[in-house]
Structure 1
Amino acid sequence: MNPRIVVGFDGTAESVAASRWAAREAVLRGVPLHLVHVEETFTVLGVPSAGPGPRHGDADPLLRGAREELLARHPRLRIGSESLGGRPAAALAGAAADADMLVLGSRGLGTLAGVVLGSVGMAVVHALERPVVLVRATEDVGPGPREGHPEGGVVVGVDPGHPCDALLAFAFEEASLRRCALVAVHSWTPPPLAGYGAAYSPEGHAQMAE
């Protein structure tokens, strides 16, 4: 593994928020930050395009500006960058395959499905076996006096019916880095007709209690 944090950056408010969050994470871990811009290349009748396209050259000043802004906040942070062509999900997953984590911006539409369904984020989550963090664009996008992580704990969702050793190890490590509480949450849906009267089933309620 190559210790570093990779962040997808395209200049949007969401990617700016993601880059700032990722920079703080890199400082917290003492690892470099790597900015990745992906310009999607298209094919015609299965033939790859001849080049990354005319907009690809815009990535250099975009990444340079992001790097300068982050260095102003974290002067000692090591920051690298690269511009890639191809399908965004595949390119981002490849760039972060050996990294500590990949950080992406999210519009945060209110539910998990709204955040990632049908997006590059969902495709990356399925393609990458490294932690993927989705960061919403909040008031942190604007300059502010607070650069540290907000106070609070780490919450991990646990499904005892599936292996979760890697998940728990990651959650414990994150809580340890932040010196905060770790809360494990398991949620479940009652079986149909669970309730009272004619629908009452001692066996069903025993299973729920277990």
Structure 2
Amino acid sequence: MIRRVAVGLDGSPASLAAADWGAREARRRELPLRLVHVWDWQPYTHLPLVGVDAPRLWSERVPREAAAELRSRYPGLEITADHLTGPPPEVLCDVAGESEMLAVGSTALGRVAGFFVGSVAMPTVARTERPVVLVRARTTAADEHMHATGSRPLSAMPYRPVVLGLDLSRPCGDVIRFAFETAALRAAPLRVVHGWNPPAFFAYGVGVDPNLQADLAAQQSDALRTALRPWQEKYPGIDVIEQAVIGQPAHHLVDAGADAGLVVLGRHTSRSWAGTTRIGHIAHAVLHHCSAPVAVVPHD
């Protein structure tokens, strides 16, 4: 496998934001960038041309023009542009399998409705065995950094934190490694969020030791610290912020994502009884409502 960052393009503003995000990530990782547009003979919302051959000609132009724009913006970055044919989710899964990661775009629906993760992005996230990053429309390089102050250039501003959603019932090394590596590449702090809930009988408040919840909270914090200790020893330069919090993990991750440069989640790769794949309810909620780019990392 040639190590590279891949981006799926469909000509939409969200996919162009994903291409720019992918270019920055490829430059940080010192990897080439591959832009891919998949032609499946379907009508396109963003199609600017008319005529019998217009859709095909436009489809061929999408990756070529995006590559030209990115080459001028990021000189020295190795960029290839491919025009492929087939069902987009299947083709993008193949592209992801040949890459370090795949970035795709998602579209904002509004403050209440969240984001639309469509018929291409969602099955790609659910099926691929490589990390997939969903990037929102209008995401820019400035969104990765703390707010600039005075005359300091963007490159001198610190990166926003990387947020890792960690399930202590199955703390997968691939997911944790991805988060630590990403934080290390940015010299960014890593905020690890573990959501948990006390036993159901706490809701009734009958015969419950008032100190029990504090003891349970301390146990969760200790377990989180223990799970992260070997990774902190491997990446000693990263400032790690540990949060074991009560409540639905998705809610805490969406809140943390408001100030994050990237949110990292795991996806268990086991198949359902019908042979289909799922991303899990936590990842599903975060993908639709988190304002930051979200990386979904598959694991066994």
Do they superpose with TM above 0.5?
A: yes
Partner residue, 1:120: 120
Partner residue, 2:236: none
Query: How much has 1:140 moved relative to structure 2?
Result: 2.7
Distance verdict in 2 for CA 1:134–1:189, change over 3 Å: same
Distance verdict in 2 for CA 1:150–1:139, change over 3 Å: farther
Query: How much has 1:177 moved relative to structure 2?
Result: 0.7
Query: How much has 1:23 moved relative to structure 2?
Result: 0.6
Count of matched residue positions in the alignment of Structure 1 and Structure 2:
197
Partner residue, 1:87: 87
Query: How much has 1:164 moved relative to structure 2?
Result: 1.0
Q: CA RMSD in A?
A: 3.2
Query: How much has 1:6 moved relative to structure 2?
Result: 0.5
Distance verdict in 2 for CA 1:103–1:179, change over 3 Å: same
Query: How much has 1:127 moved relative to structure 2?
Result: 1.2
Distance verdict in 2 for CA 1:121–1:199, change over 3 Å: farther
Moved over 6 A (4+): 147-150, 201-204
Mark the runs of 5 or more structure 1 residues left unpaired by the alignment.
43-52
Distance verdict in 2 for CA 1:71–1:5, change over 3 Å: same
Distance verdict in 2 for CA 1:108–1:150, change over 3 Å: farther
Partner residue, 1:175: 183
Q: Secondary structure at the match of 1:129?
A: coil
Counting aligned pairs with the same residue, the percent is 42
Give the AA of the match of 1:152.
R
TM-score by length of 1: 0.79
The answer on whether the counterparts of 2:89 and 2:123 sit within 8 Å (CA) in structure 1 is yes
Distance (whole Å) between structure 1 residues aligned to residue 14 and residue 158 of structure 2: 18
Distance (whole Å) between structure 2 residues aligned to residue 58 and residue 149 of structure 1: 38
Partner residue, 1:130: 130
Distance (whole Å) between structure 1 residues aligned to residue 95 and residue 88 of structure 2: 10
The answer on whether the counterparts of 1:33 and 1:78 sit within 8 Å (CA) in structure 2 is yes
Partner residue, 1:50: none
Distance verdict in 2 for CA 1:148–1:104, change over 3 Å: farther
Distance verdict in 2 for CA 1:109–1:33, change over 3 Å: same
Distance (whole Å) between structure 2 residues aligned to residue 127 and residue 149 of structure 1: 36
Query: How much has 1:116 moved relative to structure 2?
Result: 5.8
Partner residue, 1:186: 194
Q: Which has the higher contact order (CA 8 A, sep 6+)?
A: 1
Q: Secondary structure at the match of 2:77?
A: coil
TM-score by length of 2: 0.57
Partner residue, 1:157: 165
Distance verdict in 2 for CA 1:118–1:202, change over 3 Å: farther
The answer on whether the counterparts of 1:5 and 1:100 sit within 8 Å (CA) in structure 2 is yes
- 1:1-210 aligned at under 5 Å gives the runs 1-41=1-41, 55-109=55-109, 115=115, 119-138=119-138, 140=140, 146=154, 151-195=159-203, 197-198=205-206, 200=208, 205=213, 208-209=216-217, 210=219
Distance (whole Å) between structure 1 residues aligned to residue 156 and residue 34 of structure 2: 20
Distance (whole Å) between structure 2 residues aligned to residue 102 and residue 133 of structure 1: 6
| C-alpha distance after superposition, 1:11-68 (max 9, x if no partner) | 11101111111111111111111110012247xxxxxxxxxx8623322222221111
